[in-house]
Structure 1
Amino acid sequence: MGDIAYQNKDVTAKVMAEALKGKSLAPFGIHQLKIVDILPTNLPVIESNELRLDNLFLLSDGSIGIMDYESAYNQENFVKYINYIARVIKRYAINHELDRIKQIKMIVIYTADVDHAEAVYDLGGIVLKIEPTFLVEADTKAQYDRIRQRIDAGERLTDEELMELMILPLTVKGKKEKQPVIISAVELAKRIADRKQALEALAGILTFSDKLIDEAYKRQIKEEMRMTQIGQMLIDEGEKGIQALIEDNREDGVSEERIVEKLQKRFSMDRGKAEAYLQRFTRS
């Protein structure tokens, strides 16, 4: 994923950082670990042509997790992984904080195009062991149908379902075959009622499928993200006004019935929604 354009990263990195915090790695096949925090990836450069490292996490067992994504097994990639690890260690060494490194896990997520890969690169004097996981085992249709049903019902996705939607295109074999799944995943994400989750899903799809999406479609996804952010801002501002109206009227002794009527008239909402806001913003 080192090829992702910096401007794309600027748009998505902040959203992804918040989206991934606290999330389980179960959708990747690593059930025992969660992402505790996102670590900065501005690592010391050892070679001028070094690839950008996009995913560096603090994991729930106290280890540092480096995550990379591959659509083919290539032994030469182990050189890249060794470089990543060396840069992480160098950062801590520069800051005299080597004792803070409990363990480094090199997690390699293989798309459905790969069903087997070696986990150990043994050179005698140095041995690199990665933690490979394979998305070939995922049931793409079952995941899609389950997530679609939840979205159709207006339900909030679980953390695991949100992650599954983000990586859904990677569970399909073949670059050509992934394209309609990318489009389907984006369309599902756009229909998520919770705007924050919709934004996170779009950012995730853009990040995880970056190498597979053409520039024109990337621009479409980024525009959708921009409109989603604007929509969320309007919702947030609108809710501040709703809360202020409710609190002011309750302080003035206005009846709940009259407050509901005011909400319906001023914010063009039905009675059920007005009553829900009244309950939500009523001070105990």
Structure 2
Amino acid sequence: MPNEFRFTADEKRSDTVFQLEDGSILMLEYESNNRFKENHLKYMRYGHRILQRYFQRKNNIKKIHLVVVYTSDVTKDSLDAGSFRISSNPVLLSEYNGDAIMENIKGKIRDNVELNLEELYKLSFVPLMYSAKGRNELTHETVELAKCIKDEHIQLQVIAGILTSTDKFIDNNYAIKVREWLKMTKVGRLFEEGKQEAVAAAVKEAVTKVKKDKLLN
């Protein structure tokens, strides 16, 4: 079970990284193409950066688990290059009925029933599942449904998860609107204020260090 997580959408680093309860790392990737070899070479680079970062900071080598969520039909799970080998656990979202999952979650939210962790994760991935609707339409509906979650922290995490999982195909203008909406929420404002405070503290620390260095010299 993850005890902390972050969502990103960057070709230079993993889409989503979890630190699990046992201290190991889960890399969660999303793919809508069948470029298996290129993707796994990319995952090797991501894993190397994570290992290097933990080793430099804590002199510790973390175990990494790789899970790849596919909207395509790729089912291979390893790339063997002799002494270098990487394996992944594929999740085929086309096997899940997104429409049925949406209706179930809608009913629970309507009846004020708290969603469990599994349902929250499923909601983040609904736009990638099988559906009779178009993917962009389903993404819009999923975001609007997530806005109905009363706990603002959970709401923010689910919508961030939706934006990350759909990053490769979501309409860019719509994604920008959702991100702007997130910033306007109470939790979003606190998050932005927290970032600003962190930057201000870092600048203050740097200025103080420069002054001390000048005094010593």
Which bracket does the TM-score occupy, shorter chain normalised? 0.7 to 0.9
Identical-residue share of aligned pairs (%): 34
| Aligned position for 2:181 | 224
| Aligned position for 1:86 | 48
Which is further off, 158-167 or 223-232?
Answer: 223-232
Equivalent residues of 2:95, 2:130 under 8 A apart: no
Q: 1:181 to 1:63 in 2, by over 3 A?
A: same
CA-CA distance at 1:39 after TM superposition? 7.5
Equivalent residues of 1:198, 1:228 under 8 A apart: no
Instruction: Tell me the amino acid that sits aligned with residue 56 of structure 2.
Output: I
Q: How does 1:1-284 map to 2 (within 5 A)?
A: 34-38=1-5, 51-74=12-35, 75-95=37-57, 97-98=59-60, 100-101=61-62, 103-111=63-71, 114-172=72-130, 177-229=134-186
Q: What secondary structure sits across from 2:76 in the alignment?
A: coil
Q: 1:193 to 1:85 in 2, by over 3 A?
A: closer
TM-score of the pair, normalised by structure 2: 0.73
Q: Distance in 1 between matches of 2:23 and 2:187?
A: 37
CA-CA distance at 1:232 after TM superposition? 9.9
Equivalent residues of 1:119, 1:129 under 8 A apart: yes
CA-CA distance at 1:231 after TM superposition? 10
- CA deviations over 1:234-269 (Å, ceiling 9, x no partner): xxxxxxxxxxxxxxxxxxxxxxxxxxxxxxxxxxxx
Q: 1:142 to 1:63 in 2, by over 3 A?
A: same
CA-CA distance at 1:116 after TM superposition? 3.4
CA-CA distance at 1:208 after TM superposition? 1.8
Gaps of 5+ in 1: 1-33, 42-49, 234-284
TM-score of the pair, normalised by structure 1: 0.58
Q: Distance in 2 between matches of 1:120 and 1:194?
A: 39
Aligned CA RMSD, in angstroms, stands at 2.9
Q: What secondary structure sits across from 1:212 in the alignment?
A: coil
CA-CA distance at 1:110 after TM superposition? 1.2
Instruction: Tell me the amino acid that sits aligned with residue 154 of structure 1.
Output: N
| Aligned position for 2:210 | none
Equivalent residues of 1:156, 1:193 under 8 A apart: no
Q: 1:39 to 1:166 in 2, by over 3 A?
A: closer
Instruction: Tell me the amino acid that sits aligned with residue 5 of structure 2.
Output: I
- CA deviations over 1:99-147 (Å, ceiling 9, x no partner): x42x221221112xx2332111112222211122221221212101101
CA-CA distance at 1:185 after TM superposition? 0.6
Equivalent residues of 1:154, 1:192 under 8 A apart: no
Q: Distance in 1 between matches of 2:15 and 2:106?
A: 29
Q: 1:36 to 1:96 in 2, by over 3 A?
A: closer
Q: Distance in 2 between matches of 1:80 and 1:168?
A: 25
As a proportion of its length, which structure holds more strand? 2
| Aligned position for 1:281 | none
